[in-house]
Amino acid sequence: MLCRWHGFIPGKRFAPVTILLLLALVVFFLSSPTQLPDLTSLPDLGDDVRIPKPGTPAVTSPASTVAVEPESEPELPLPPKRTPAPGSTTSTSFIYPDPEGLVLSNKRPVLESPDGRSTLTLQRDGNLVLRSRGADGSPNILWSTGTGNPHAHAAGARVSITARAGDHMVLEVTAPIDGGEEVLWHSNLVPACTPHARTNSSSNTLHAGRLELSGSGRLTLAGACDLYVPTSEREESRSLAVILSGAYKRGACAQIPLGYASFSAIDVFASVFFEDSDDGAKAGIEAELRGCYGDALRSVEVSPAPEAAEEDLDRHDGRELERCHEAVSGMSGRLESLYDAGRAWWEWSVRSGVLHDTVLAMRADVPFGREGEAPGFRALEELAGKLVVVRDPGAGYLFCPRMTGGVGIAASEYITYGTPASMSHYLNLHATLPSVLPLALGAHGTAHRDFSGCGVVPMGPRLEDCPSPVPCAVECLVAWYLDSVGVDLEVDWWETG
């Protein structure tokens, strides 16, 4: 009997034999029970079963195969954690203290910036030294605690961070001496890090308690203070001292831009003299200076023009000095005024505990710059130990023989600036002038003889090397003196108006 099967494959016919075979297969599968694995035959591994990690060797036994981890190697000191400094493109290395407060020791003596430019090293003698790598690869010492101690060499010094007076953090350098732990140095010796100082840290207080070092060399006790700030990062807080001296004429107050963006603070110190016979000149000039500089004027001294310093000049005989008597005498009076103003600056700095980043000396009647134009001060890194003479592009200048045998530009009494160290030599020239004159007049070395400069580029430092000498150029005497004390004199050009 034929039958038509519809459903699996519509329109197809199956023979009876085929149908019987399909039914037989269904019956076979239904009659065979499912065999599950016997879990009781597996070995008991206990509750602590480890899942093998990729690459973990296996230990094989007759009863079972269980993956185990190899024995851990001895723990080594971890390198400092590194992270970009918040709000800066300069990367920073940092290290947190261990439970005992330790951050550096003879086992881990170095904290290095990520770029390798700066390193903080605890030396075996106990001195903590911050170094920066120069352009030529040589290390330069930026800062140190000065705590080298021979007793620390054998036992090893330690650098720790401790908390004092509540949450005030202190960085300490200690060493075991005579059976006890002696403090060699601590951060409270740094003015910005004292308990009474306002928190002055470049780091976010969320990271308080760690030691940080940037590639530029900034060393920070996070949440407390900056232990060292490189000159390249002090531009925003840069301070300027202005030293005004020399003859002053009424109505000629130099309008220094006190709001000049390069400086966060400007302090003015004036010691000027007048040549009028007017009895009211002193009071009038003093009032004019106070009105001109306001609260920035820290000290002012107004006096009649000084007498010629005959006693200094009469000690030195010779035709050379006779020719330049008037020029040297006038210079002596101006240097005395400069010395007095510089002394007032130094005394104010001592009383206030303030050391300016830059010191500028200028004549009180010299225009500081064209209206609306700010002068281009050099950056702190560019200044280093230099003293910069400022000249107007329209003014000529002299070539002068130097003490060391070279030839350079003359100094200027109009505008000169530099670091406090380099400017101190310039400001104190009046006190050393009696010694400078005979040395400059001597017959040895590149002596000035008649204090001549050269109006054109000379062939050498000798007088006969100059085709256009300028006698009695006392500016050359100042340049000669600065060269003799190791001050590097350079020239900038400003539109002084």
CATH (domain of 286): 3.90.550
CATH (domain of 141): 2.90.10.10
The whole-number pLDDT of residue 497 equals: 56
Instruction: Give the position of tokens 């005992």.
Output: 100
Final residue before a domain boundary, out of 233, 264, 291: 233
418, with CB counted inside 10 A (0-12, 13-18, 19+), is buried
Contact of 147 with 141, CB cutoff 8 Å: no
Final residue before a domain boundary, out of 176, 203, 233: 233
Whether residue 43 is contained in a domain is answered as no
Task: Quote the domain boundaries for residue 221.
Answer: 89-233
Nearest to 213 by CA among 143, 164, 148: 143
Nearest to 428 by CA among 395, 371, 387: 387
**Which residues have C-beta within 8 Å of that of residue 88, sequence separation ≥ 6?**
214
* Residues 150 and 294 placed together within one structural domain of the fold: no
Q: What residue type is assigned to position 369 of the chain?
A: G
CA pair distance 399, 440, nearest whole angstrom = 16
* Residues 282 and 424 placed together within one structural domain of the fold: yes
Whether residue 394 is contained in a domain is answered as yes
Number of folded domains in the chain? 2
- Three-class SS of residue 192? helix
* Residues 285 and 412 placed together within one structural domain of the fold: yes
The full DSSP string for 10-66 is TT----HHHHHHHHHHHHHHHHSPP----GGGS----S--PPPPTT--EEE-SS-EE
CA dist list (Å): 332 to 73, 306, 312, 335 = 78, 9, 9, 5
The whole-number pLDDT of residue 7 equals: 44
CA dist list (Å): 117 to 190, 213, 216, 358 = 24, 10, 7, 27
The alpha carbon dihedral of 158, 162, 165, 169 has a sign of: positive
* Residues 241 and 157 placed together within one structural domain of the fold: no
The whole-number pLDDT of residue 131 equals: 94
pLDDT digits over 423-448, tens only? 999 999 999 888 887 777 765 555 55
Other Cβ atoms less than 10 A from the Cβ of 29: the count is 7
Contact of 156 with 175, CB cutoff 8 Å: yes
* Residues 247 and 222 placed together within one structural domain of the fold: no
Whether residue 14 is contained in a domain is answered as no
* Residues 199 and 337 placed together within one structural domain of the fold: no
Whether residue 370 is contained in a domain is answered as yes
The whole-number pLDDT of residue 89 equals: 38
pLDDT tens string, the chain, 497 residues long: the values are 444 444 444 444 555 656 656 666 555 555 555 444 443 343 443 433 332 333 333 333 333 323 333 333 333 343 344 333 333 335 789 999 998 899 999 889 999 998 889 999 999 888 999 999 877 777 889 999 988 766 655 567 899 998 876 678 999 999 887 778 888 899 999 988 888 765 555 555 556 789 999 988 999 999 889 999 888 777 667 889 999 998 887 776 766 655 565 687 889 999 998 877 666 788 888 898 888 888 889 999 998 887 655 544 445 444 456 677 788 888 888 899 999 999 999 999 999 988 899 999 988 777 665 555 566 788 888 888 889 988 877 677 788 888 888 888 888 778 899 999 999 999 999 998 888 877 777 655 555 555 678 888 888 877 788 889 888 888 888 888 888 888 988 888 876 65
Final residue before a domain boundary, out of 233, 256, 280: 233
Sheet holding 118-122, edge to edge: 110-112, 118-122, 128-133, 139-144
* Residues 354 and 389 placed together within one structural domain of the fold: yes
